[in-house]
Chains A and B, each alone.
Chain A
Amino acid sequence: MALVNIKIEGQSFQVEQGLTVLEACRKCGFNIPSLCAFNHGECSRASCRVCLVEVKGARGLVASCVYPVNEGMEISISSVRASEARRASVELLLSNHRKNCLECEKNGHCELLEVAKMVGARDGVFEGSKTPATIDHLAPSLIRETDKCILCGRCIARCKSAHGIAILGFENRGFNTIVSPVENRSFATSPCIQCGQCVTVCPTGALLENSEISKVDEAMKAGKLVIVQTAPAVRAAIAEEFGEKIGTPGTGKMVAALHRLGFYRVFDTNFAADLTIMEEASELLKRIKNNGVLPQITSCSPGWINYLEYYYPELEKHVSTCKSPHMMMGAIIKTYYAQKHDLDPNNIFVVSIMPCTAKKYERQRKQMPNDVDAVLTTRELAKLIKRAGINWSKLPEEEFDNDLLGEYSGAGVIFGVTGGVMEAALRTTYFWLTGKEHAAINFDAVRGLEGVREAAIEVNGTTIKVAIASGMKNAKILLEQIKAGTSPYAFIEIMGCPGGCINGGGQPYVKPLFLPNEDFNILDTYRNKRASVLYSEDEKQVVRQSHNNKDVQRLYQEFLGEPGSEIAEKLLHTSYDINREKYPNK
């Protein structure tokens, strides 16, 4: 990349051509406050007017988030004119913002508050009437409070770039503009897949997960046996909440924290991931042997299941009937585990810590109402830990409880990464078909389709083609092939969030303002660094195939019989609501 010479605050630098002024300044160690700019152009509307700087020769102030650097450019961030302008933009935003910062759920992560601090915003300037607000707390997964929204448009861009469905959009114009699903509906009455991607990019408290912390509190107070399980992706990101570098494994400390928070048992959802593979692989085997409906599609992402029900109900038969791992875990805890320990299942309260907001919706599905009692996101877990006064850095490393459901394989760990479920399932399917363990599978990008990858494996002389996609925009490509009857695949893995669960809607916030300088493409940064945590954990596991998990083997021997048995069907499988209306009457 060609370099250009620029001056920032009178100092000379060389930066790559093509960078924006904002990026160049951050790279050179100058932090300009900004709000709407996000992820190197994913959202670059230059709308918040917070990142204004002076550029010599330019007509007026320039929005550094969109203004490209060029040779000889002289940038002034600190001029009185620029700093007053930035402060005024922020103060105007604040004048139309519900400032209940102390109680706001976003407190501590609010970029608006951070920016207000940076520009020295004053209280009570430009006060006036506020845009009529909508407060939506109806949906199980997500809440929306438009009186906190600054109309940056990041959520809209994210929903569209991840899923192509663009649930959120701008409504009305001028001072009445809000960000909303159509007709200013609730997320609950819109075909929103509840994935929470929008929440991860919102700079303020306008979009949040629907917190279930109080439910957990009540269960604890009521003296229930509160059993917690954590999904694989949580450990890859939880440390970020405590100031550690992205990609720092947090497994041991997280378990230690959960023990201190008073949970009766701390389990790893990975156990259930192995269980899922047993069921899902056997289902696949059955379909292959009996000329059943193919390709089979994975079912562990509830965001994807919502998408199926709203947008492709006709493909229902392609989707595995397996519940997602944490729901299986809940079902097994309340049956097998309870029986083995002679516990009253009604006194057990199962909490799932998930990187996901859609799981909150999933646990309330009418098809499986009692398996899991509360779902907390990674962010909510961090809140619990902080609230309790636990010092993360002082925590020891502890192990998950090894109590019937303790063991897990490396296959289970990589569930958290796109392609992980597929790889885990293939390890087992291959073994069942050939009696041999399979080496690592390499997925290659399907030509011309970024985000869709495929692989072929040889099984007893026949080639099985498989594919993976994450984000509904990518999934759509594979689904359209199936609809057209041209899908060459036997098995497809679909994950709701781009990059899989490590980038889930319940994961720690992606905050461009607080990022290290080199991280321009935030998504890739997060994805790769978090994924590496899971891959390295997989490699460390002695048992790397689900069918070799001893606890799982015992569960089948003592309780379930074999994969797909009657009781397994009852506890571990589900059905889908293919008559879900996109826009039900409000």
Chain B
Amino acid sequence: MAKIKTSDELIKKSNDCSSCLDAKFKGLKGKRAIVVCGGTGCLSSDSSSILKRFQELIKKNGMEDKVTANIVGCFGFCSQGPFVKIFPEETLYTKVKVADADEIFEKDIMGGEIVDRLLFVDPQTHEKASKQHEINFYKLQKRDVALRGNAEINPEDIEEAIGSGAFLALNKALHMSRQDVITEVLNSGLRGRGGAGFPTGRKWQFAYDVQSDEKYVVCNGDEGDPGAFMDRSIIEGNPINVIEGMMIEGYAIGAQNGYFYIRAEYPVAVDRLKNAIKQCEELGLLGDHILGTDFSFRCHIRLGAGAFVCGEETALLNSIEGQRGMPRPRPPFPAVKGLWDKPSVINNVETLANVPYILREGADAYAKIGTEKSKGTKVFALGGKVNNVGLVEVPMGTTLRQLIYDIGGGIPNGKKFKAIQTGGPSGGCLTEKDLDTPIDYDNLIAAGSMMGSGGAIVMDEDNCMVDVAKFYMTFICDESCGKCSPCRIGTKRCLEILEKITEGKGTMKDLDELKTLANVIKSNSLCGLGQTAPNPILSTMKSFYDEYVAHIVDKKCPAHVCKSLMQYKILPEKCAGCGLCARNCPAGAINKTDKVPAGKPETFPLRVHEIDPDKCVKCGLCQANCKFGAIIKD
């Protein structure tokens, strides 16, 4: 590929590539295009074999010049994957298996006929949808800001990115003064998507104002919140967009080098990012004198190694510097003394993915999206007990109810909604009363949670909130770096109390102590991780105090989750006596009684079974195996 040396060359290249994309997607000259979802969810359902099969079929039929097949980023609707989409008709096939590839190819590509059985069926209306925009899941979303290009362009082909407008924002920025770029971002109202929501433009301004011959920009891709995969999908789906955001930031603050810090758990994202950086370098879009200007910039990738705390920006810097990921005291702030003691700005992946949109469309256009104090869109990883699990991008101001019910399709199996946990281990649980709250930074904090990076886990009546608090405390305890005493020792003490309570050994005094500890950890900890660590406890204690009391006073777990406080029981009136439960019981805890199943004569050879509570290890296998619904938790 020839290098792009000037603005004009970029614009020409952009137009050329754009025409190519048009030809592909709009079916010019009779072209057809097959795209297959390459998000981690679909890849684990073997979508790469589906793509391979399509490519074989194209070759076998000698249709290489007419039909293309390639991978794209995440469709977001992960519970329906793997996805295959056919252009120009934009027919969307869901839950595709390798074996389905031949049929799609034969009927749709060769015959122009839709494969009906692979279309999405709405679980409520039972209506089929052949196009993405007809599906409820997508209706309220706005997937063209941070998730721009996801599920459209080939993330491994820079020309498709350029064809979809990549680098035009950078080009525009390079024709502005550095201060003007920062002002533009300030005016857009963009706030950091990593957690606390600090205004991005102000962060940049701090670093810009510090005089230094060397500055760094760092992209925080250490997405460690359990239950969050926004950043991974953004990088996997359109790595160039993030690189462009980083370059604009680098230009604005006066940095020459940018570091991506990515979780090692994300190999696909890392590979695509590496590939994208290489292609940028080949085109001269990274390196010296970018687009013929004085701006020179290089991107580097550093991998995490399994430490949640490295998502904290100063711990992340230490990790890049080859040290234990322990947070640094502040001040000095990274904008003054950051990576290798040089002024540095650390921005989260999603934040950077917003930047090209702002420069390209203008701060005003961006600021039109969202609420008064939270502009733009937010990507959520919607998971847990919700029908439509997946990755969604919605304008700020969307309500939780819309998120859970309209987009998420409600709670499966007719269960009752109990809570939605946002903000990961630093966040809290929101309940029914919060459902109509428009999502933005300040509302979520006011409601007792926080935006966090965007994990949104729905819980139903089968989830025990004390257990959920214990889950987060276990996580934090494991992941506490151990540097400061409140977090190192305090979280351990909290966990010990929660363990006591879930084992039925808690006292009401423990609840007071738990609250005291939570407040100590909050006020005394060194870093943001520690300061927010007690939030899951505080928020569940606030909204589900009764559940705590039930564990302590009644020695009952209302959701039947805490093993010490529940038992499995066989309902004799429902037991058919088949013995499947007994055969599968690892503890040999299920015995035959001499009772005959309901409605059967004495001569019936089978007998009702019962569980010996002393032997039962509460693994739940019996319940999973029972075909008669005769086994319950009590």
Chain A interface (Cβ < 8 Å from any Cβ of B): 44-49, 52, 60-61, 63, 66-68, 81, 85, 88-89, 92-93, 95-96, 126, 128-129, 150-151, 170, 172-177
Q: Is the CB of A170 within 8 A of B480?
A: no
Q: A63-B329, A66-B329 are in contact. Are A88 and B482 (CB under 8 A)?
A: no
B337, chain A: closest CB distance, angstroms: 12
Q: Is the CB of A49 within 8 A of B482?
A: no
Please indicate which of the listed interface residues B486, B488, B513, B526 has the most CB atoms of chain A within 10 Å of its own CB: B488
Complex: chain B residue closest to A170, CB-CB: B324
How far, in whole Å, are A81 and B428 apart by their CA atoms in the complex?
25
- CB-defined contacts of B631 to chain A, threshold 8 Å: none
Flag whether B489 is at the interface (Cβ < 8 A). Answer: yes
Q: Scoring B residues 465 to 491 as 1 if CB is less than 8 Å from chain A, else 0, what string do you get?
A: 000000000000111111111101111
Complex: chain B residue closest to A90, CB-CB: B485
Complex: chain B residue closest to A44, CB-CB: B329
Q: Is the CB of B481 within 8 A of A174?
A: yes
Label chain B's interface by main secondary structure.
Answer: helix
A146, chain B: closest CB distance, angstroms: 13
Q: Is the CB of B526 within 8 A of A46?
A: yes
B426, chain A: closest CB distance, angstroms: 15
- CB-defined contacts of B307 to chain A, threshold 8 Å: 173
Q: A61-B524, A129-B496 are in contact. Are A172 and B482 (CB under 8 A)?
A: yes
From 429 to 485 in chain B, residues with beta carbon under 8 angstroms from any chain A beta carbon are: 477-485
Flag whether B95 is at the interface (Cβ < 8 A). Answer: no
- CB-defined contacts of B478 to chain A, threshold 8 Å: 174
- CB-defined contacts of A67 to chain B, threshold 8 Å: 329, 331
Chain B interface (Cβ < 8 Å from any Cβ of A): 307, 324, 329, 331, 477-486, 488-493, 496, 513, 517, 520, 523-526, 531
A6, chain B: closest CB distance, angstroms: 16
How far, in whole Å, are A92 and B329 apart by their CA atoms in the complex?
20
- CB-defined contacts of B496 to chain A, threshold 8 Å: 128-129
Please indicate which of the listed interface residues B481, B491, B493, B517 has the most CB atoms of chain A within 10 Å of its own CB: B493
Q: Is the CB of B520 within 8 A of A85?
A: yes
Q: A67-B331, A129-B492 are in contact. Are A177 and B524 (CB under 8 A)?
A: no
Q: A49-B524, A60-B523 are in contact. Are A175 and B486 (CB under 8 A)?
A: no
Q: Is the CB of B484 within 8 A of A49?
A: yes
How far, in whole Å, are A44 and B328 apart by their CA atoms in the complex?
10
A406, chain B: closest CB distance, angstroms: 53
A66, A93, A151, A174: the one contacting B477 at CB < 8 Å is A174
- CB-defined contacts of B486 to chain A, threshold 8 Å: 49, 88-89, 92
Q: Is the CB of B520 within 8 A of A47?
A: no
- CB-defined contacts of A47 to chain B, threshold 8 Å: 483-485, 526
Name the 10 nearest CB pairs between A and B, nearest first: A177-B482, A46-B329, A174-B480, A88-B520, A66-B329, A92-B489, A175-B492, A174-B482, A173-B482, A49-B524
A49, A93, A128: the one contacting B526 at CB < 8 Å is A49
- CB-defined contacts of A93 to chain B, threshold 8 Å: 485, 489
How far, in whole Å, are A455 and B298 apart by their CA atoms in the complex?
49
How far, in whole Å, are A170 and B520 apart by their CA atoms in the complex?
25
A66, A92, A129, A151: the one contacting B520 at CB < 8 Å is A92
- CB-defined contacts of A150 to chain B, threshold 8 Å: 485
4 additional A-B residue pairs with CB within 8 Å, beyond A49-B525, A85-B520: A48-B485, A92-B489, A126-B493, A151-B485
A–B complex contacts, Cβ < 8 Å, 15 sampled:
A46-B484, A47-B483, A48-B485, A49-B485, A66-B329, A68-B331, A93-B489, A151-B482, A151-B483, A172-B482, A173-B482, A174-B482, A175-B480, A175-B488, A175-B489
A245, chain B: closest CB distance, angstroms: 33
Q: Is the CB of B482 within 8 A of A89?
A: no
How far, in whole Å, are A174 and B491 apart by their CA atoms in the complex?
9
Q: Is the CB of B525 within 8 A of A173?
A: no
- CB-defined contacts of A45 to chain B, threshold 8 Å: 329, 483
How far, in whole Å, are A47 and B483 apart by their CA atoms in the complex?
6
- CB-defined contacts of B525 to chain A, threshold 8 Å: 49
How far, in whole Å, are A61 and B329 apart by their CA atoms in the complex?
12
- CB-defined contacts of A63 to chain B, threshold 8 Å: 329, 526
How far, in whole Å, are A177 and B484 apart by their CA atoms in the complex?
11
Q: A129-B496, A151-B482, A170-B482 are in contact. Are A60 and B488 (CB under 8 A)?
A: no
- CB-defined contacts of B492 to chain A, threshold 8 Å: 128-129, 174-175
B278, chain A: closest CB distance, angstroms: 35
Complex: chain B residue closest to A178, CB-CB: B482
Complex: chain B residue closest to A169, CB-CB: B324
Complex: chain A residue closest to B519, CB-CB: A88
- CB-defined contacts of A61 to chain B, threshold 8 Å: 523-524
Complex: chain B residue closest to A82, CB-CB: B523
How far, in whole Å, are A61 and B496 apart by their CA atoms in the complex?
26
